[in-house]
Structure 1
């Protein structure tokens, strides 16, 4: 079920909106429209659905339109044309056409926002900053402070409740901003580059904490970022924008594997594939493995082979004729405790990072099983192929695959 549904949305800033929309329909570019009338196209013909409980990351370079689209969701930016629907219980509210009372209700009850610059009020304590939105809702002092303290405990700042913003580090201030948004108990969070002003180590830590909190709270999050590694790490889906348009929208792995054009390909080429690619996308299929009589060869150099039955189940393994132990690895198991010199079988959804750690620990390729049947392996060749950026193909018509 969609929490946010956007159809053919245009956002134009200026006093000649209708004239600019006509120029857009004629195929004029953003720069041509600026030159002709001075208006700025923030978003052009955007269509996207954000499901309940997902983190959708709006990604792009500065000026691509991602913040303009985000701010249209709670009515901070004008909707010039198209439809922007936000769920409110069983109904969908059109943000572009609703009255002021409805818009105020959506902003105070359904949608919360976390800003890049923290936006904390310096004259209020940490606790009162978190409780501020609840005060605006008319909640009593004792109740709102109790709820604010609960959210501060959730982000690990309950011991700082009586401090002021200037007494906190940047990362701690951003946690206060998160706690304030969570305290509103809104179903939808809008996050406009909330971690970009922080040091890399703090940024990574807050990304991890956001993922952990999302697993517990299951909010719908629309998150703006210019950092694709961040987008790949936290996003359920990613929408990449260029020149006010959404040019590709999909799961992180799909975008890394199949960039739609050269613009997206350039982004993907500089990302860390360890954070997004799965074994299924990297593996060498069983049918591609060399056969030696009734054995499948994993490593010709040391004659490491496996045997499978008619159902594709691995029943034995050997190296230079001597038996090798087999181990079924499950998500959550400690890789550092795996026995060395062991062949490990894992799910095809294993992450590239985990697979490389297993390969390093055991000294052997990783076997991938689906429904108790071997479907492929991950060897050094597959890992090098991914790390060198050879794992994706560009699907844009007329462009050769990579």
Structure 2
């Protein structure tokens, strides 16, 4: 299966003589050297692919270049160098008119600030992208209504934006993107303006929609826990560069450098890891103990801890064919949580006494 979206060696430089600045970056110059000359390198040599139906999260601190990178993916910003391909089409080679057509029909964007029209109803806001496409009114209202229902806003179509809460307004923005049936959704800090509880609800909503719609999504965030929760894969950016790309488990267990390691040190590992990430694969069938309670490679860490607390032996991990693929001793579970602060973990068992990370 070929990638739906491909970014190849993207650079974005603001300021004087940007092409010359790209040459200097390729030769080893850093951001600070260019800044001294009045030039800002926002994105430096960024390459990645996004597979069909994948949520690809780009995360980094403010100023890391993540939003600039996103805007190059749909042509809102022209790359100084590099290419963006969508379904094999080179977007960087398109004219302005052709790019507008792609944005109208194939790529939708959900912004951090809801960008709703206050003088249009919720239904009219959700149908706006279809109106731009020239879809007849009856058809666009039907499709917008279906998108609002998917986003939990059935019954609010005739309301005005100022009658909705912040979370509901963001759902309208998501419905507007879904109504166009675009192949690619670009989401720029879409939930960061929301209160924590509403933000969590929107994350749940997106994951639920994704199970049904299987859209290809590029999601920008500065929140590591949000990235870990949503992303099939995550790209970590620092100073304009992508410093690591991988699954949440890859980044959590195998950070590429000290920067990534410091970034992830406060992540709640129990919410990210699965049995497949922590199991010992160097086992024989007779080493699994009694298999009265078992796990699969996708069993969440917290559930794995609960199983471990109920059985007196390592937890057997079985694949879809009920074949043993690994075991998880209790000491191994606690070891994966050993770097985290706090007292007892869900893995502690009164039956066996307290187990420490040094066990």
Do the aligned partners of 1:313 and 1:374 also contact (CA within 8 Å) in 2? no
Aligned to 1:55: 55
Aligned pairs (5 A) from 1:22-101: 22-36=23-37, 38-87=38-87, 92-101=88-97
Q: Report SS of the residue matched to 2:119.
A: coil
Do the aligned partners of 1:312 and 1:372 also contact (CA within 8 Å) in 2? no
- Paired residues in the alignment total 338
Aligned to 2:354: none
Distance across 1 between alignment mates of 2:210 and 2:301: 23
Aligned to 2:150: 154
Aligned to 1:400: none
* The 10-residue stretch of structure 1 (233-242 or 374-383) with the greater mean CA deviation from structure 2: 374-383
Which of 382, 386, 389 is the matching residue for 2:339? Answer: 389
Aligned pairs (5 A) from 1:1-400: 1-36=2-37, 38-87=38-87, 92-284=88-280, 287=283, 312=286, 317=290, 327=292, 344-360=293-309, 365-370=314-319, 371-389=321-339
Do the aligned partners of 2:56 and 2:218 also contact (CA within 8 Å) in 1? yes
Kindly provide the CA deviation profile for residues 157-189 of structure 1, in whole angstroms up to 9, marking residues without a partner as x. Answer: 021111111111111111111100000110000
Question: How does the TM-score come out when normalised to structure 2?
Answer: 0.88
Distance across 2 between alignment mates of 1:24 and 1:311: 54
- Which structure has the higher relative contact order (CA within 8 Å, separation 6+)? 2
1:131 to 1:11, Cα distance in 2 relative to 1, 3 A:
same
**For the pair shown, which has the larger CA radius of gyration, 1 or 2?**
1
Q: CA deviation at 1:373?
A: 4.5
Please give the root-mean-square deviation of Cα atoms over the aligned residues, in Å.
2.0
Q: CA deviation at 1:356?
A: 2.0
Give structure 2 stretches of 5+ with no counterpart: 341-359
1:124 to 1:364, Cα distance in 2 relative to 1, 3 A:
farther
Do the aligned partners of 2:118 and 2:162 also contact (CA within 8 Å) in 1? yes
Question: How does the TM-score come out when normalised to structure 1?
Answer: 0.79
Q: CA deviation at 1:148?
A: 0.5
Distance across 1 between alignment mates of 2:233 and 2:209: 18
Higher strand share: 1
Distance across 2 between alignment mates of 1:163 and 1:362: 55
